[in-house]
Amino acid sequence: MKAMRGLGIVNFLGNVGPLGKSRGLRNAAAVLSLLAATVSLAIPAAGTVPAATAADIKPGQWTSLAAGPAPASNPLQGFVPYAGKYDALPYSMEWFYIPVNAVVTGAGTYNWSALDAQLNSIASRGHQAVFRFYLDYPGRRTGVPQYLLDAGLATHPYADYGNQGVSVSPDYDDPRLVQAMDAFIAGFGARYDGDPRIGFIEMGLLGFWGSGTPTRMTDTRHRKTGQHPLPTNSASCRLTPPPSPGPSSRCATQRPPTAA
């Protein structure tokens, strides 16, 4: 055996001679003697154990304990499954997506019932919500408010991520969309700031799934056609972090964190 010096393992077996006799047995005996001496030094004799420690050791004795408060359930930590009831794992938060047009019904007008219903459902299970609003989710109908589409907001169809033309990518630089989302974020913050049903709010709105994923594809085809234009830095800065007055006492998360 070769010594593994990096792990502190020594070669105490020695080398095997031409006649098959180990020349390291004497080394092995010496090492084992050293280990025995070390162990005897590390383990105190029974008479040296402090009296208080010895008195506490009573094998087979049961001690009744008074009932106490329930242990902490790790709020705002751990697994975050999609909204629903699961028995396979412990969790204290639930995740969901929600389209902007489920709330924004017109210029400066909102219907919060869809969001409240989801928050109440999660709260009824003793959990807090983590969620993200989106305008564009591949494979789902657009989350752009209808009144903006009716007003002529430009959109771009695409087939990427299995969308096949179901959703559309909006013109994020259109001042009407920027103003509408700015007002929506302010209205959302004014209503839900400090709401105990909410664990985290994930900053969304831009890109696929509202995750900040760039909406301009990186392949040559999309670079040539110019489809799915990205928002300018000005629009990104207004719509990615919640502007004031936005949610202040709820934690906001970002995916990916470099997008901001």
Do 25 and 151 share a structural domain?
no
- Tens digits of residue pLDDT in 72-130: 566 788 888 999 988 888 889 999 999 999 999 999 999 999 999 999 999 999 999 99
The CA distance from 97 to 208, in Å, is 12
82 within domain boundaries: no
**Residue 228 backbone dihedrals phi, psi, to 5 degrees:** 55, 60
16 within domain boundaries: yes
- The answer to whether residue 247 scores a pLDDT higher than 70 is no
Residue type, 98: I
Please compute the mean of the pLDDT values over residues 42-71 and round it to a whole number: 59
71 within domain boundaries: no
Do 103 and 13 share a structural domain?
no
The CA distance from 155 to 260, in Å, is 23
| Percent of the residues in the chain that have a pLDDT greater than 70, as a whole number | 56
3-state DSSP percent of the chain in helix, strand and coil, to 5: 35, 20, 50
Which range of residues forms the domain containing residue 20?
Answer: 5-44
Do 239 and 133 share a structural domain?
yes
Do 123 and 202 share a structural domain?
yes
Q: Which residues contact 201 (CB under 8 A, 6 or more apart)?
A: 130, 131, 132, 242, 247, 250, 251, 252, 253
Do 33 and 155 share a structural domain?
no
Do 99 and 40 share a structural domain?
no
Do 123 and 39 share a structural domain?
no
The CA distance from 232 to 189, in Å, is 24
Do 101 and 39 share a structural domain?
no
74 within domain boundaries: no
- The answer to whether residue 181 scores a pLDDT higher than 80 is yes
Do 255 and 170 share a structural domain?
yes
Please compute the mean of the pLDDT values over residues 18-23 and round it to a whole number: 42
For residue 252, list its beta bridge partners.
201
pLDDT at position 89, please?
82
For the record, the structure tokens of 158 come out as 């695409």
120 within domain boundaries: yes
- The answer to whether residue 257 scores a pLDDT higher than 60 is no
- The answer to whether residue 222 scores a pLDDT higher than 70 is no
83 within domain boundaries: no
For the record, the structure tokens of 240 come out as 């990615």
- Enumerate the H helices of 154-254 as residue ranges: 175-192, 220-225, 233-239
Choose between 170 and 33: higher pLDDT.
Answer: 170
Count of C-beta atoms within a 10 Å radius of residue 248: 11
199 within domain boundaries: yes
- Tens digits of residue pLDDT in 190-209: 999 989 999 999 887 888 89
| Percent of the residues in the chain that have a pLDDT greater than 90, as a whole number | 37
Of 13-22, 46-55, 184-193, give the range with the top mean pLDDT.
184-193
70 within domain boundaries: no
Residue type, 137: Y
Do 112 and 228 share a structural domain?
yes
> How many domains does the chain contain in total?
2
- Mean pLDDT of all residues belonging to the chain: 72
Do 99 and 156 share a structural domain?
yes
Do 99 and 14 share a structural domain?
no
